[in-house]
Copies of this chain bind each other. A is one copy, B any other.
Amino acid sequence: MKLVDVFRARRRIAPYVRRTPLVLSRWLSDLAGAAVSLKLESLQVSNSFKARGAFNAVIARLEGGHPPARLVTASAGNHGRALAAAAETFHVPLVVFTPVDAPHGKLAAIVRHGAELRAQARDYDAAEHLAKAFAAETGAEFISPYNDANVIAGAATIWLEIADEAPATDTVIVPIGGGGLISGVAAAAKAINSAIAVNGVEVEASCPFQTSVRAGRLVPIVPGPTLADGLAGNPDSDTITFAFIQTLVDRIVTVSEADLSAAIAGLVESEHLVVEGAGAAGVSALIGKCLDVTGRRVVIVVSGANVDAVRLTSILST
Contact = CB atoms under 8 A, between A and B. Distances in A.
A309 interface: yes
Interface in A262-285: 265, 268-269, 272-274
Interface stretch (A18-26, A72-80, A114-122, A236-244): A18-26
Contacts of A316: 309, 312-313, 316
Interface size class of A (residues with CB under 8 A): 20 to 34
Nearest to A30: B112
Contacts of A274: 268, 272-274
Interface in A8-40: 18, 20-21, 23, 26, 40
Contact of A18 (B21, B26, B42): B21
A contact face: mostly helix, strand, loop, or mixed? helix
A43 B21 contact: yes
B313 A317 contact: yes
A272 B42 contact: yes
A306 interface: yes
A294 to B, nearest CB: 21
A40 B21 CA distance: 11
Nearest to A318: B313
Contacts of A21: 18, 20-21, 43
Nearest to A279: B272
A313 B40 CA distance: 22
Contacts of A105: 269
Interface of A: 18, 20-21, 23, 26, 40, 42-43, 47, 105, 112, 265, 268-269, 272-274, 305-307, 309, 312-313, 316-317
